Amino acid sequence: MGDAAAARDADTGESAPDSPHLMQDDPTIDPISRALQLLDRPAQWPHAAAWLYGAEVRWRAPARGLFIEGRSLVLAQLRDDARRFSAAEYFTLRRAVAGDRVIDESALNLIFPHDGIPGVALNVGDRVELKRTRLLSFAGGLIIDELNLEAWTLLRRGS
């Protein structure tokens, strides 16, 4: 079993999606290519890509004051973000690969959720745009660092 599959089994036991094109054990698809495929489904990313995260992964979102270490805590944050952003409109701006790094630039247009977003000083019901650049760094077939550079813009105050 490869490093990515071993990390998956050791922590959550979650398996990859059923699609044969996204299976983590498919030797014809490298982890970076798999990540690029999965980024097209942001709501499913936390579950579908869980096996790509290394045990000692670091996840950072400096604009929100967040620095998280460890696979289980990072996956919990990813699931929390996916829940809060579930009704957002997603726009992919750019995706690129630079060596062992994936660069994913996107914009999300959403209504600020009723339970807020820790570290973001906006009000419930505000229409906001999140411009986000995610830098996913890989080593040994696993994500070892994810940096989220975020810019939050108020588009319209809620009622």
Asked if pLDDT for residue 8 goes beyond 50, the answer is no
Q: How many residues does the chain have?
A: 159
Retrieve residue 105's tokens: 């630039």
d(CA 53, CA 48): 11
CATH, residue 30: 3.10.450.50
Higher pLDDT, 24 or 83: 83
Are the beta carbons of 129 and 141 closer than 8 angstroms? no
Strand (E) or helix (H) holding 59: strand 53-61
Retrieve residue 104's tokens: 């994913």
- The pLDDT, as a whole number, for residue 17 is 40
- The pLDDT, as a whole number, for residue 41 is 87
| Range of the structural domain that residue 110 is part of | 3-156
Residue % of the chain over a pLDDT of 90:
74
- The pLDDT, as a whole number, for residue 4 is 43
Question: Considering the chain, what is the average pLDDT of its residues?
Answer: 86
d(CA 146, CA 138): 9
Residues 6 or more apart whose CB falls under 8 angstroms from that of 76 comprise none
- The pLDDT, as a whole number, for residue 1 is 36
* Structural domain count, the chain: 1
d(CA 146, CA 137): 6
- The pLDDT, as a whole number, for residue 45 is 93
pTM of the model: 0.81
Closest CA to 59 of 156, 122, 146: 146
